[in-house]
Amino acid sequence: MAKKNISTDVLLANIIKGIEEVKGSDIDILDLRAIDNTVCDYFVICNGTSNTQVNAIVHSVQKTVSKELKDKPWHVEGTENGEWVLMDYVNIVVHVFQKHIREYYNIESLWGDAKITSIGNNY
């Protein structure tokens, strides 16, 4: 579970690092802090090309955050099928999708008031 002495910005940077290390693509950061009654400060959303890559991204994020910050997610779900995995770090919720599942659910559209930052990559 995210500890109070870990900066949300440092956690966010390590999550992005974990995604990029295994070539997760289309990374979006949704800043939810200015929206009332949200469950967390940020959503991080990215794509993997297959269930194998989705699970590799999840493993990489967990490994990076654990190594750098000695922290682990409060909850993880969806690893069984690897189409949409949710990782809950309390202040940051990470969604790792296969592209077609991300397009179907389009959760970014549900948070239209959020400031969205896209991280460019060439994968």
pTM for the full predicted model: 0.91
Taking residue 14's Cβ as centre, other Cβ atoms within 10 Å add up to 21
Provide the pLDDT confidence category of residue 6 given band limits of 50, 70 and 90. confident
**Model confidence over 49-94: pLDDT tens digits?**
999 999 999 999 999 999 999 999 999 999 999 999 999 999 999 9
Residue 68, H or E segment? helix 51-69
**CA–CA separation, 106 and 19 (whole Å):** 20
SS3 76: strand
Reference 95, options 109, 81, 68, 77; nearest CA is 77
Q: Which domains does the chain have, with CATH numbers?
A: 8-116 (3.30.460.10)
SS3 35: coil
Taking residue 80's Cβ as centre, other Cβ atoms within 10 Å add up to 9
